Structure 1
Amino acid sequence: MKPVYITHTSAIIPQHQEAGALLEPLIPDERQRFAVIEPDYTTVIPPMQLRRMSRVLRMGVYTGMDCLRKANLARPDGILTGTAKGSMTDTEKFVKELKSYDETALNPTPFILSTYNAINGAIALQTGATGYNQTFVHRGSSFEAALYDAQLKLHTVQDPQHYLVGCFDELTEEYFHIKDKVGYWKKDRDNSLPLWQQNDSPGSIGGEGAAFFLLSNHSDGAVAAIKRVFTFYNTGNSAPLASIQGQIEREGWTAADADLLVLGYNGDPADDPCYDQVRNLLGNKLPVLGFKHLCGEYETSGGFALWLTCQLLSGNDLPEAAWYQKPAGQDFRPRKIVYYNHFRGVNHNLVLLEGL
Structure 2
Amino acid sequence: MLGQSDDMVQLLTPDGRRVDHPEFTFRGTTDDLLRSLRDMWLGRRFDVEAIALQRHGELGMWPPQLGQEAAQIGAARAIRDGDHVFPSYREHSMALALGVPMQQILGFFRGTDAGIWEMNDKFRTYALVIGVQTLHAVGYAMGLQFDGLVGNDDESTNSGVMVFHGDGASSQGDVNEAYVFAASYNAPVVFFCQNNQWAISEPITLQSRIPLYERARGFGFPGIQVDGNDVLAVQAVSEWAMDRARRGDGPTFIEAYTYRMGAHTTADDPTKYRARDEEEAWRGRDPINRLVAHLRDIDAIDDAHLKALEEEADELGVRTRASIKELTDRTMDELFAGVYAEPTVALEAQRRQFKEFADSFEED
Relative to the length of structure 2, the TM-score reads 0.27
Q: Which has the higher strand share?
A: 1
Q: Which has the higher helix share?
A: 2
Give the structure with higher Rg (CA): 2
Relative to the length of structure 1, the TM-score reads 0.28
